[in-house]
A and B are shown apart, each in its own frame.
Chain A
Amino acid sequence: MTDQNKRLIGMWGYPHPEVIRQMQAEYPENDIIDLDINYNYASSNILPDAYCRIITNIIDNAVYLKDKLDVIIASVGEEKCDNGRFAATILADMGFNIVRTKYCKCPDTPVNVPISESNLPLRQKIMVIMDSIIAPASIAFEKSKPEYGFWGVPPNDMNILDLFPDNTHVFGWTRCVEANRPADIDLEMYVNESVPTVFFAQTFCAKMQLAKYLAKKYNGLYVDVDDVASNSVKAKIEAFIRLR
Chain B
Amino acid sequence: MYKLLIDAGTTWSKVLELFDDENSLQNSPFNFCIDNLQKVNRTGSFKNKDGKAVKGRITLFPSKYLHKLSILFDKATGHMVKNHIKPDGAYENEVIALAYGAMKILNNPKDATIVDIGSRDIKWIKFKGGKYSDLDWNGSCGSATGATVEMLCKFYDIDPANIEVQKEKIPVTCGVFAMEKIMDLIASGTQTEIAISKYIHGIAYNTWKFAGQPDIMYLSGGFCMNPCFIKSLELYCKVVPLGRYVLLEGLY
Contact = CB atoms under 8 A, between A and B. Distances in A.
B95 A236 contact: yes
Contacts of B95: 235-236, 238-239, 243
Contacts of A221: 135-136
A238 B132 CA distance: 14
A236 B136 contact: yes
A38 B123 CA distance: 30
Contact of A230 (B93, B99, B140): B140
Nearest to A229: B139
What range describes how many residues of A lie at the interface? 10 to 19
B140 A238 contact: no
A219 B134 contact: yes
Nearest to B120: A232
* Secondary structure call for the B interface: mixed
Nearest to B121: A232
Given A230-B140, A231-B79, A232-B121, A239 B133 contact: no
Given A239-B99, A242-B96, A243-B99, A232 B137 contact: yes
B97 to A, nearest CB: 9
A235 B136 CA distance: 10
B135 A232 contact: no
B96 A243 contact: yes
B94 interface: yes
A151 to B, nearest CB: 16
A240 interface: yes
B173 interface: no
A66 to B, nearest CB: 32
A233 interface: yes
Contacts of A233: 137, 139
A233 to B, nearest CB: 6
A217 interface: no
Interface pairs A-B: 4 shortest CB-CB: A239-B95, A243-B132, A236-B137, A232-B137
22 contacts: A219-B134, A221-B135, A231-B79, A232-B123, A232-B138, A232-B139, A235-B93, A235-B94, A235-B95, A235-B137, A236-B95, A236-B123, A236-B137, A238-B95, A238-B96, A239-B93, A239-B96, A242-B93, A242-B96, A243-B96, A243-B99, A243-B135
